[in-house]
């Protein structure tokens, strides 16, 4: 492997490149596009491991039916793990392992267009999987995870990622707890939304939507680790926080500071850690390191996987390595001029557009949302910050200082603001919020409802089927 050399990279040069990558795209012209990513677990109804050969077979059948899709990424064994439609930008792929199907719907102006394409893709995959006694469902933690083979997709990216997550024992000297599920990406599924943002709105958007996160926990939780921690309605937060991704807490969760300027945001980005790069087509994983400190090193030592065997390599940091700086924050500023909202679990499939609709409507009613959240006394001004509140509200039992009726009334007000924002857009997208109004009325969410049904004698198989229906 080539060991490149480079001129000294000082902090100001790094700052300029970070600005170019993350801030400058928000100045390129506002389009108001929507991008939706939906991860969905695959289940073998025989209660044995998902048969990956069936996964590959169904993928090839999809390619034959949807001929506009082309092979995008091939794994080391010659199997397709990512397909792309270059006209729409839609990508159908497998996330982390062949146990988790992902639909990444290309940017659109209307949620209705996104939903119609999703519906066609999902219907095809579900029907074809069910011919082989497999299925799909809208539950954020695969309820059959204990039966599955948790092995990464055999390609550079996912082998590197799994290697990084499994390296937590190397950080034993840190005053930090690590869970023992480094394979969590292979059985947890999310619903993510990317929305365009303008530079002038960037700071306020991050501040306001950070304060919204505790309420989103109440509304969208759908990730119960059945058999292990059923009091936590969304264990996804814990998975990220207590893994190697969370060694630097700035790389995950929320911004626990009120940003005041673009320079504040840039300083926050400079506080992030980097843990991988590429050389000669190989991903290199190295100890997670602050991005500024990374460029102060003349050389770094890392590991890369060659034909299943890990080898040590010494390399020189290059400015282009900033391309591999990625946070996993709930509000993730991307290089596309978008904010990716990534805190919501996958939802029951019939509610699949609810996350995107909710976030999109509030984006178009930011002024009123800001006023509501900053004046709130139901959860705020009770001695807790937004991160602490989200952790409390992810639990099945509400904290004692929260009045349940007032909490759901507050969420109802937020829903009304989202609905108002969607009505302004004029596409009829407000219909996707109906299921959320039902949750507010019944004081529930998908995780809470699943646990109640299980306690009332409903079989998990019935819930899998119900949550998987369009």
- Report H helices in 176-261: 199-220, 236-241
DSSP string, 69-123: -EEEEE-TTS-EEEEE-TTT--EEEE-SSTTEEEEEEEEES-HHHHHHHHHHHHH
The pLDDT value recorded for residue 334 is 95
Work out the mean pLDDT of the chain and round it to a whole number.
Answer: 95
Res. 172 pLDDT band, cuts 50 70 90: confident
Predicted TM-score (pTM) of this structure: 0.95
Of the candidates 397, 339, 345, the residue with the CA atom closest to the CA atom of residue 363? 339
The pLDDT value recorded for residue 313 is 95
pLDDT of 293 > 90? The answer is yes
DSSP string, 242-265: TSGGGSSGGGEE---S---SHHHH
Please state which of the ranges 27-31, 81-85, 215-219, 449-453 shows the lowest mean pLDDT. 27-31
Res. 1 pLDDT band, cuts 50 70 90: low
- Give the whole-angstrom CA distance, residue 364 versus residue 374: 17
Q: What is the dihedral of CA 224, 226, 228, 233, to 10 degrees?
A: 20
pLDDT tens digit string along 8-45?
688 999 999 999 999 999 998 778 899 999 999 999 99
Please state which of the ranges 87-101, 140-154, 293-307, 419-433 shows the lowest mean pLDDT. 293-307
Share of the chain above pLDDT 70, in %: 98
Angle, helix 434-442 to helix 199-220, in steps of 10 degrees: 50
Residues in Cβ contact with 433 at an 8 Å cutoff, skipping those fewer than 6 apart: 354, 357, 358, 361, 415, 418, 419, 422
- Give the whole-angstrom CA distance, residue 84 versus residue 161: 22
Look up tokens 């990622």; give the residue: 161
pLDDT of 97 > 60? The answer is yes
User: What mean pLDDT do residues 324-342 have?
Assistant: 95
User: What mean pLDDT do residues 85-95 have?
Assistant: 97
pLDDT tens digit string along 342-356?
999 999 999 999 999
Across the strands, what pairs with 283? 278
pLDDT of 3 > 60? The answer is no
User: What mean pLDDT do residues 325-337 have?
Assistant: 95
Class of residue 78 by CB neighbours under 10 A (exposed 0-12, middle 13-18, buried 19+)? exposed
Q: Parallel, antiparallel, or unpaired for β 70-74 and 80-84? A: antiparallel
pLDDT of 4 > 70? The answer is no
The pLDDT value recorded for residue 30 is 77
Which DSSP helix (H) or strand (E) runs through 91?
strand 91-94
pLDDT of 435 > 90? The answer is yes
Q: Going from the N-terminus, what domains does the chain have, and what CATH number goes with each? A: 1-30+273-326 (no CATH), 31-272+327-467 (3.30.590.20)
The pLDDT value recorded for residue 402 is 97
Please state which of the ranges 40-54, 183-197, 303-317 shows the lowest mean pLDDT. 303-317
Sign of the four-CA dihedral 259, 262, 266, 272: positive
pLDDT of 306 > 90? The answer is no
HSE toward the beta carbon, residue 450, CA cutoff 13 A: 32
Greatest CA separation for the chain = 66
The pLDDT value recorded for residue 308 is 77
- CA of residue 12 relative to chain centroid, distance: 31
């Amino acid at each position: 492997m080539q060991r490149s050399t480079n001129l000294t990279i000082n902090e100001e040069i790094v700052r300029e490149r970070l600005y170019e990558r993350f801030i400058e795209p928000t100045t390129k012209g506002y389009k108001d596009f929507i991008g939706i990513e939906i991860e969905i677990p695959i289940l073998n109804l025989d209660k044995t491991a998902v048969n990956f050969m069936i996964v590959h077979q169904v993928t090839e059948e999809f390619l034959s039916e949807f001929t506009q899709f082309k092979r995008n990424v091939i794994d080391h064994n010659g199997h397709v793990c990512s397909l792309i439609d270059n006209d729409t930008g839609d990508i159908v792929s497998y996330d982390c392992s062949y146990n988790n199907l992902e639909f990444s719907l290309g940017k659109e102006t209307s949620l209705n267009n996104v939903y119609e394409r999703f519906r066609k893709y999902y219907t095809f995959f579900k029907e074809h999987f069910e011919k082989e006694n497999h299925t799909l469902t809208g539950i954020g933690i695969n309820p059959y995870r204990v039966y599955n083979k948790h092995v990464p997709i055999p390609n550079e990216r996912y082998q590197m990622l799994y290697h990084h997550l499994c390296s937590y024992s190397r950080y034993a000297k840190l005053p930090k707890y690590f869970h023992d599920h480094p394979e969590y990406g292979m059985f947890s599924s999310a619903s993510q939304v990317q929305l365009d943002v303008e530079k002038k709105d960037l700071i306020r958007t991050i501040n306001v939507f950070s304060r919204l996160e505790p309420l989103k926990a109440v509304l969208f939780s759908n990730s119960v680790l059945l058999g292990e921690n059923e009091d936590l309605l969304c264990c996804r937060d814990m998975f990220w926080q207590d893994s190697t991704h969370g060694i630097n807490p700035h790389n995950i969760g929320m911004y626990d500071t009120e940003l005041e300027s673009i320079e504040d945001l840039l300083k926050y980005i400079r506080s992030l850690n980097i843990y991988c790069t590429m050389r000669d087509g190989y991903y290199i994983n190295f100890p997670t390191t602050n991005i500024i400190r990374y460029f102060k090193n003349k050389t770094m030592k890392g590991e890369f996987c060659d034909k299943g065997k890990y080898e040590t390599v010494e390399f020189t940091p290059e400015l282009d390595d900033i391309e591999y700086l990625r946070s996993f924050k709930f509000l993730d500023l991307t290089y596309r001029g978008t904010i990716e909202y990534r805190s919501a679990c996958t939802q029951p499939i019939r509610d699949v557009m609810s996350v995107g609709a909710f976030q999109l409507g509030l984006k178009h009613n930011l002024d009123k949302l800001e006023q509501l959240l900053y004046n709130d006394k139901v959860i705020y001004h009770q001695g807790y910050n937004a991160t602490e509140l989200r952790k409390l509200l992810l639990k099945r039992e509400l904290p004692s200082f929260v009045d349940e009726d007032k909490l759901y009334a507050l969420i109802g007000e937020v829903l009304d603001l989202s609905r108002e924002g969607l009505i302004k857009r004029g596409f009829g997208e407000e219909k996707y919020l109906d299921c959320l109004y039902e949750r507010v009325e019944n004081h529930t969410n998908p995780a809470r409802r699943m646990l109640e049904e299980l306690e009332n004698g409903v079989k998990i198989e019935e819930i899998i089927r119900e949550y998987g229906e369009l």
